[in-house]
């Protein structure tokens, strides 16, 4: 007999304060990817997300994530990133760059805006010029690049690992 019994959809872990992580996405190519990011953000306790352009979410993917996360839609990302900086957020871009730190070695500050680029173009130069830090996921094999929603999920996981109580 197993010592493990199913306990699916457990109640969430408590946070001592609301998460100060904001996930800010450039205009995405795929509603599927954006929807997956919303679902993961919801499960991670993220309260606020930014998306750009022509946004439509797939409720079969997000499920109740769209109830958890306040999604703000903007035309472009740079103005809202400047506002977030004014609000005291550190702007952390998720991108392979010459100056990126490995996500596994990066110490987040609590008040972080995670900046996620388009699937094809990644973080464009105007976004790279704005961010404070760039982080990248360690890659050990082909195809040498993660799906954008997968990469965003790993970054959210790492942030929550560092701030398990919010």
* Residue of 24, 68, 89, 118 that binds a copy of itself (CB under 8 A): 68
* Residue of 73, 82, 88, 104 that binds a copy of itself (CB under 8 A): 104
Residue 14 vs 54, nearer CB to a copy of itself: 14
Binding range to a copy of itself, per CB under 8 A, among 23-31, 48-56, 79-87, 89-97: 89-97
What minimum distance in Å lies between the beta carbon of 149 and a copy of itself? 7
Write the CA distances from 65 to 5, 22, 44, 61, 142, integer angstroms: 26, 14, 10, 9, 31
Q: Judged by CB under 8 A, does residue 16 bind a copy of itself?
A: no
First to last CA, the chain: 37
Residue 56 vs 143, nearer CB to a copy of itself: 143
Q: Tokens for 54, please give them.
A: 């022509």
Q: Judged by CB under 8 A, does residue 11 bind a copy of itself?
A: yes
Write the CA distances from 148 to 95, 114, 117, 164, integer angstroms: 10, 13, 8, 23
What minimum distance in Å lies between the beta carbon of 7 and a copy of itself? 5
Q: Judged by CB under 8 A, does residue 20 bind a copy of itself?
A: no
What residues have CB less than 8 Å from 105, skipping those under 6 apart? none
Q: Tokens for 38, please give them.
A: 């919303």
* Residue of 22, 25, 26, 39 that binds a copy of itself (CB under 8 A): 39
Residue 64 vs 87, nearer CB to a copy of itself: 64
Q: Judged by CB under 8 A, does residue 125 bind a copy of itself?
A: yes
- Give CA–CA dist 91/27, Å, rounded: 17
Q: Judged by CB under 8 A, does residue 82 bind a copy of itself?
A: no
What residues have CB less than 8 Å from 16, skipping those under 6 apart? 165, 166
């Amino acid at each position: 007999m197993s010592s493990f019994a199913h306990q699916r959809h457990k109640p969430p872990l408590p946070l001592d304060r609301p998460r100060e992580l904001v996930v800010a996405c450039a205009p995405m190519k795929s509603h599927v990817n954006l929807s997956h990011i919303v679902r993961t953000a919801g499960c991670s306790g993220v309260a606020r997300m930014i998306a750009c352009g022509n946004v439509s979410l797939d409720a079969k993917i997000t499920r109740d994530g769209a109830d958890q996360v306040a999604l703000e839609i903007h035309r472009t990302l740079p103005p809202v990133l400047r506002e977030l900086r004014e609000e005291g957020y550190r702007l952390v871009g998720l991108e392979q760059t010459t100056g990126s730190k490995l996500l596994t070695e990066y110490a987040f500050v609590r008040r972080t805006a995670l900046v996620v680029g388009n699937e094809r173009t990644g973080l464009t130069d105007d976004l790279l010029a704005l961010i404070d830090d760039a982080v990248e996921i360690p890659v050990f094999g082909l195809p040498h690049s993660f799906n954008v929603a997968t990469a965003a999920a790993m970054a959210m996981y790492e942030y929550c690992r560092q701030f398990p109580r919010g």
